Structure 1
Amino acid sequence: MAVEFWSDDTIAAISTPLGEGGIGIVRLSGPDAVSLVDQAFVSPKGRRLASARNWSLNFGWIVDKHGEKIDEVIVSVMRAPHSYTREDVVEINCHGGLIPLQGVLERILELGARLAEPGEFTKRAFLHGRLDLSQAEAVIDVIRAKTDRGHRLAMRQLEGSLSRVIKEMRGKLVGLLAGIEAGIDFPDEVGDMEPEAIRQIIDDVSGEIAKMLATADTGRLLREGIDTAIVGKPNVGKSSLLNRLVRENRAIVTDVPGTTRDVIEEIVNIGGFPFVVRDTAGIRHTEDVVEKIGVERAIALMEGADLVLCVVDGSSPLDDDDISLLQQVHGKTAVLVANKSDIGSAESDERYREILPDVPIVRISAATGEGLEKLEQTIVEQVIQGGIDLTGDSLVVTRARHKQALKEAAASLEAARRTLEMGLPQDLIAIDIREAAESLGEVTGESVTDEVIERIFADFCIGK
């Protein structure tokens, strides 16, 4: 793995969100981190950072080239290899305002540091071996976690739970490869491996991969959020349902049909899953140009959604617009929400199932909140169909990149199994085993291209 990297480069960036706050941090990493800050740091007692203890906090001021104070600071010094990047790291704790932070950063850049690229601190941690690639990806997942459950999964991956399993499987394949190649290189002394021994290792690793792949779709939803569309004809209570789910009056609710014409989006935590819930315009035939655009957007969102909440007015008989919509929802992961249960029920569940079979039906009142708990439970059940265990120390694959690498490894192992069953020479089996090991190595970064590394870290914020 050849990665372009400047070991004599010192980088700097603001590592906290811009805006007003109690504290803001300017972070540096590289061989000159301590000496650069030392040139701008003034201690009340004249102490220099060069002589500061490792992991120490040092009070003073950052001054400009004329000696004017930019900000009162506390500087932390973390020397290599005992730091996040395994380089010398300095963090300047400033007052959390835009002007002092920018002033301190500009002073450090003036002294010779380079502005860090997005994710470059974590990239250096990866390149220096402190984190593998899956752990580095988990850093951004921890930062962006939308629920406690998503955060726990990201923390497990950061702690190495995925890496350990991948490395164990890859180790078995590398050991198998070594045994096969020893027999090829020394046929008289070693000879071919027993086919049953080869088959056992292939089956063991294939089984582990299959278990991991079974979690991938649910894992992706936990990390990215479940794209959820609330659809229905006008005035059935879609906006009222959104307000109930978010526990606030986010959408305007009136008795006038067609009030919602644009999409309203909110992230909602339901059962530990992040749902990106979109309230859409009422779907009906209309000649109004603006409303027609809203209807087209609603249909497009429904088509692309992970989950559809199809809302009908349960107190009124189904009409042609309702039936047309239910037919469009057919075949999607959905919940039929019969609203206005506080008024009455005009249709039976059997009538709904005639049009939309195999979809759970939940009767609610968005006005009173009746049935909301059952709806939320049903929504979660729809998302985790298949019973993926997300508790305890269960391992969940959360990234599409990992899923693809595992699928490629599984395909290579299946090819190796077929070659074995056909009784072909073991050097042909070795080719597929090697490809499977390479695919697993892509997850942890043991075998990955520069392009993939650049793409992963470009997704990070500057300063992390």
Structure 2
Amino acid sequence: MTSTDTIAAIATAVSPGEGGIAVIRLSGAQAQAAVRAVVRTPGQQLWASHRVLYGHALAADGVQHLDEVLVLVMLAPRSFTGEDVVEIHCHGGVIAVQQVLDRVLDQPGVRRALPGEFSQRAVLNGRLDLTRAEAISDLVAARSRRAAELAMAGLDGGLQRHISAARERLLDQLTELEARVDFEEDLPPLDGSALLAELQAVGVALRQLLADGRRGEALRQGLRVALIGRPNVGKSSLLNRLSRRERAIVTDLPGTTRDLLESEIVLEGVPITLLDTAGIRATADAVEQMGIARSEQALASADVVLLVVDGHAGWTDEDAALLERLPEGVPHLIVANKGDCPAGPMPDTIEPDVTISALHGDGEEALIQRLLQRCGAAETGGVVLSLNQRQRDLALRAAEALDRSREVAAQELPWDFWTIDLREAIRALGEITGEELTEAVLDRVFSRFCIGK
């Protein structure tokens, strides 16, 4: 499989009975020829760039109609990938679009696209830098409005401009240093203090980007919040309250929830997966035991745990036992439910973080704010750019390389020692934008994309 192949894939979500259209995308030298062989366009329609043609996709016998389609032609270099790109717009669904795709893949020189291969070709052909390509993937995967806004900021080039500006500042300093290494006797002295101040200023800017990236991670990836508590304390009522719908069955019978229930919500722009766990207790019921086992797995994978207690009944030995079972290192909140009833006794060593009434909604806003604060997602309003994990690792590598320049300056080492860490920082920033990349890195980045993008 080489970058000279013509590739094809369905570029839209496909689901039975849903979607008005489905798009098949081709990119490469054989894209137009392959579509011409599959689609018959009546009359004298012109196969020119950036024109839409009407026709029918035909079966292999050249007679049977598979679908009524539109064809969009975008010839190089004015296309997403920089190559000839042709799209076939079929009716939505599954069968028709898959039949047309199979016909396309039967054409000489055409193969199925790998995940992210269209975006990868756009980067290799200079149509996108790597940060913009990754922003496309983030936009497709966005689960909230704020996550989409962050992705668009990256797609608009905001991150690329920040990283490229920092890299240019370092390249300017490297040029000065290398000139002193080769021609120091012929040039005016270099101010080491000013040089160090400039390197540290770039390092501070990178640290700020890293801080924004950590806060933005909650907006991008979302949080998993597990609700735990002994049976009948109101976990399911709380889930339904936050979800704004009857997601869980609520009764007065203890042990009603016997399996792990999930609900997707958005709180203050942060995507949240709520996990309503089966009440953890000793039981001989085999079905309930399976639910409890799944609950314990959910606790281990959660970003934060809400330990729900019955505020009217007060603290019990069972509540204390559950608190002891919470995974070490996972943040938790103690939520006293049934705040609309008289409060029961609580030990001096235990104070609920929030008191709520899942039935009436009292205390709900306080719970949301404490939840976001506990998992570090409360201050995301000022985040305008967000680095993904790969970008954060590289930005951190660059910042740490610049930090080492302080030690070099303190030891008053020759200029060529300064260039070692400076080059490392420049390389790391180049990998963020794609200016310095290997094929292995590209393959790893784009393997996480969806097929057709």
The alignment's TM-score, normalised by the length of structure 1, stands at: 0.90
Cα deviations across residues 240-266 of structure 1 (Å, max 9, x unaligned)?
111111111112222222222322122
Amino acid at match of 1:66: D
- Asked whether the 8 Å contact 2:215–2:377 carries over to 1, the reply is no
How has the CA–CA distance of structure 1 residues 396 and 47 changed in structure 2, closer, same or farther, with 3 Å as cutoff? closer
Cα deviations across residues 421-442 of structure 1 (Å, max 9, x unaligned)?
2101111110000001111122
Q: Tell me the distance in 1 between the aligned counterparts of 2:380 and 2:369.
A: 15
- Consecutive unaligned residues of structure 2, counting only runs of 5 or more, are none
Q: Tell me the distance in 2 between the aligned counterparts of 1:216 and 1:412.
A: 19
- Consecutive unaligned residues of structure 1, counting only runs of 5 or more, are none
Are residue 189 (structure 1) and residue 181 (structure 2) matched? Answer: no
- Asked whether the 8 Å contact 2:235–2:276 carries over to 1, the reply is yes
Q: Tell me the distance in 2 between the aligned counterparts of 1:419 and 1:437.
A: 17
Q: Tell me the distance in 2 between the aligned counterparts of 1:91 and 1:385.
A: 40
Q: Tell me the distance in 1 between the aligned counterparts of 2:86 and 2:333.
A: 52
- Asked whether the 8 Å contact 1:218–1:383 carries over to 2, the reply is no
Q: Equivalent of 2:53, from 43, 54, 58?
A: 58
1:12, distance to aligned residue in structure 2 (A): 0.9
- Asked whether the 8 Å contact 2:402–2:421 carries over to 1, the reply is yes
Hey, what does 1:72 align to over in structure 2?
Answer: 68
How has the CA–CA distance of structure 1 residues 286 and 178 changed in structure 2, closer, same or farther, with 3 Å as cutoff? same
Q: Equivalent of 2:385, from 383, 386, 395?
A: 395
How has the CA–CA distance of structure 1 residues 219 and 92 changed in structure 2, closer, same or farther, with 3 Å as cutoff? same
Please give the secondary structure, in 2, of the residue aligned with 1:355.
coil
How has the CA–CA distance of structure 1 residues 455 and 173 changed in structure 2, closer, same or farther, with 3 Å as cutoff? same
Please give the secondary structure, in 2, of the residue aligned with 1:27.
strand
How has the CA–CA distance of structure 1 residues 317 and 77 changed in structure 2, closer, same or farther, with 3 Å as cutoff? same
- Asked whether the 8 Å contact 1:10–1:33 carries over to 2, the reply is yes
Structure 1 residues 284-433: aligned runs within 5 Å: 284-286=281-283, 288=285, 290-327=287-324, 332-347=330-345, 351=347, 354-355=349-350, 361-384=353-376, 387-390=379-382, 394-397=384-387, 399-433=388-422
How has the CA–CA distance of structure 1 residues 440 and 386 changed in structure 2, closer, same or farther, with 3 Å as cutoff? farther
The more displaced of 331-340 and 423-432 is 331-340
- Asked whether the 8 Å contact 1:326–1:355 carries over to 2, the reply is no
- Asked whether the 8 Å contact 1:74–1:92 carries over to 2, the reply is yes
The more displaced of 320-329 and 182-191 is 320-329
Please give the secondary structure, in 2, of the residue aligned with 1:94.
strand
How many pairs are equivalent? 448
Are residue 178 (structure 1) and residue 170 (structure 2) matched? Answer: no
1:376, distance to aligned residue in structure 2 (A): 2.1
The more displaced of 369-378 and 308-317 is 369-378
1:325, distance to aligned residue in structure 2 (A): 2.9
1:310, distance to aligned residue in structure 2 (A): 1.5
Please give the secondary structure, in 2, of the residue aligned with 1:245.
helix
Please give the secondary structure, in 1, of the residue aligned with 2:20.
strand
Please give the secondary structure, in 2, of the residue aligned with 1:370.
coil
Q: Tell me the distance in 1 between the aligned counterparts of 2:59 and 2:315.
A: 73
Structure 1 residues 94-105: aligned runs within 5 Å: 94-105=90-101
- Asked whether the 8 Å contact 1:323–1:355 carries over to 2, the reply is no
Please give the secondary structure, in 1, of the residue aligned with 2:153.
helix
Please give the secondary structure, in 1, of the residue aligned with 2:425.
helix
Cα deviations across residues 70-116 of structure 1 (Å, max 9, x unaligned)?
22111111111111111111111111132221221122222222111
Are residue 455 (structure 1) and residue 444 (structure 2) matched? Answer: yes
Hey, what does 2:252 align to over in structure 1?
Answer: 255
Q: Tell me the distance in 2 between the aligned counterparts of 1:295 and 1:45.
A: 67
Cα deviations across residues 165-212 of structure 1 (Å, max 9, x unaligned)?
011111111111111011101122126521012112111111101111
Hey, what does 1:42 align to over in structure 2?
Answer: 40
Q: Tell me the distance in 1 between the aligned counterparts of 2:286 and 2:413.
A: 67
Please give the secondary structure, in 2, of the residue aligned with 1:85.
coil
Q: Tell me the distance in 2 between the aligned counterparts of 1:186 and 1:145.
A: 52
1:221, distance to aligned residue in structure 2 (A): 1.6
1:146, distance to aligned residue in structure 2 (A): 0.6
Amino acid at match of 2:332: A
The alignment's TM-score, normalised by the length of structure 2, stands at: 0.93
1:56, distance to aligned residue in structure 2 (A): 1.2
Hey, what does 1:151 align to over in structure 2?
Answer: 148
Q: Tell me the distance in 1 between the aligned counterparts of 2:364 and 2:343.
A: 17
Are residue 162 (structure 1) and residue 152 (structure 2) matched? Answer: no
Q: Tell me the distance in 1 between the aligned counterparts of 2:59 and 2:257.
A: 54
1:412, distance to aligned residue in structure 2 (A): 0.7
The more displaced of 57-66 and 25-34 is 57-66
Q: Tell me the distance in 1 between the aligned counterparts of 2:214 and 2:137.
A: 19
How has the CA–CA distance of structure 1 residues 434 and 158 changed in structure 2, closer, same or farther, with 3 Å as cutoff? same
Q: Tell me the distance in 1 between the aligned counterparts of 2:330 and 2:28.
A: 52
- Asked whether the 8 Å contact 1:118–1:459 carries over to 2, the reply is yes
1:283, distance to aligned residue in structure 2 (A): 2.7
Percent identity reads 42
Aligned CA RMSD, in angstroms, stands at: 2.2
Q: Equivalent of 2:6, from 4, 7, 10?
A: 10
Please give the secondary structure, in 2, of the residue aligned with 1:202.
helix
Hey, what does 1:264 align to over in structure 2?
Answer: 261
The more displaced of 445-454 and 166-175 is 445-454
Amino acid at match of 1:344: P
